[in-house]
Amino acid sequence: MMKREELGLWVGSPPHPAVPSPQPRWVARALGGLALVGVTGVFACESAEDAQLTSPYVVALSATEAPSYADANLTLYESQTSVAFPVRKPTGPDLSALHGNDPPYARPPFLLASDETIQINFTLTNLDKQEHAIFLLIDPWNEFVRYKPGVTVVSDDETEPNLSGIEQGYVLEPLQRVQGNITSDQMSTLALKLDTAMAIDAATISPMATFDASTLMNNDFDIQNNPTSDPLLASYVPKVVAGLTGFDLGLQSTEPLNVAIEVTVSVTDNGTGKILPLGSTGPFIGTPPAFLKIPGSR
């Protein structure tokens, strides 16, 4: 079983260096566990007449499930579901109006991060009478790519999970229920991180460089970092930030357990008409056409 120390459930946190350098991924995962552990109240959704509240999404991780990944060094148990936002599919005239060259995208984005406001509310429940450690994972989409972190085999003796877009670690007491949220600011930053990762993936990085693309992308998704203020990442930040069109919601553990999460998502249209009203039949923008993966990941 994963220990409290491995999740980083200590009092206080290490100082953040003035010039950040990539940390081992288990350290970033541990620091990610500091943010929401012990939250006991749901924060209210931001009020807006045009906010669309999704039906609840439920993910359950069962003790009877086979590992999602296993090798001699690491065993992971994971369950996921897809959460698509009610983003309108762009029409021919919409696409024709998108002029210019906006790397790292194949064309200028139809949906911008400024077009929407997103908040996630959740209830996480331990269904067992034993204490368990669990990670809540959010892996983002935009209209171009769907982020899939995977794992990286570092050596014959070490395998590390790559960082998800958002990771929150919890130690749940027996039968404990935890409620909380992921704020609109966190989701806005997540959109920026996904686009920065796209730029890193598209860049030509010298084999002699201090940090390779895999390290940079994990540094990008480190919960402590914001690409605009990170010296290693600032040059990759795109001028135009594509909006999020959905995400993969997951639970992950290193042991068999019975834990469930229920999530609702509030998506507010910021006056553009690109978020369709509740009950609309579409057409929706749908699932992205490609995966964005950490180079060398499995």
Rounded to the nearest 10 degrees, the angle between the axes of helix 184-202 and helix 213-221 is 170
* Coil/strand/helix, residue 159: strand
- Show the DSSP H helices in 133-209 as ranges: 184-202
What is the domain range of residue 132? 24-293
Is 6 a member of any domain?
no
Q: Give domain status of residue 14, yes or no.
A: no
Q: Is residue 17 part of a domain?
A: no
Number of domains forming the structure of the chain = 1
> What pTM, to 2 d.p., does this model score?
0.85
- 183 by Cβ neighbours in 10 Å (0-12 / 13-18 / 19+) ranks as middle
CA distances to 55, 87, 160, 172, 275 from 280, rounded to whole Å, are 13, 10, 42, 38, 10
In a domain, 131, yes or no: yes
Residues 180-234: tens digit of each pLDDT: 999 999 999 999 999 999 999 999 988 888 899 999 999 999 988 999 999 999 9
280 token code pair? 């609309």
Residue 133 lies in a domain: yes
Whether 16 maps to a domain, the answer reads no
pLDDT in tens, 56-107: 899 999 999 999 999 888 899 999 999 999 999 999 999 999 988 899 999 9
More confident residue, 166 or 280: 166
In a domain? residue 8: no
Q: With 90 as the cut, is the pLDDT of residue 294 above it?
A: yes
Q: Under the phi-then-psi rule, with left for phi > 0, alpha for psi from -120 to 50, and beta for the rest, what region is 279?
A: left
Instruction: Tell me if 7 is assigned to some domain.
Output: no
Q: Give the burial class of 22: count Cβ atoms within 10 A of its Cβ; 0-12 exposed, 13-18 middle, 19 or more buried.
A: buried
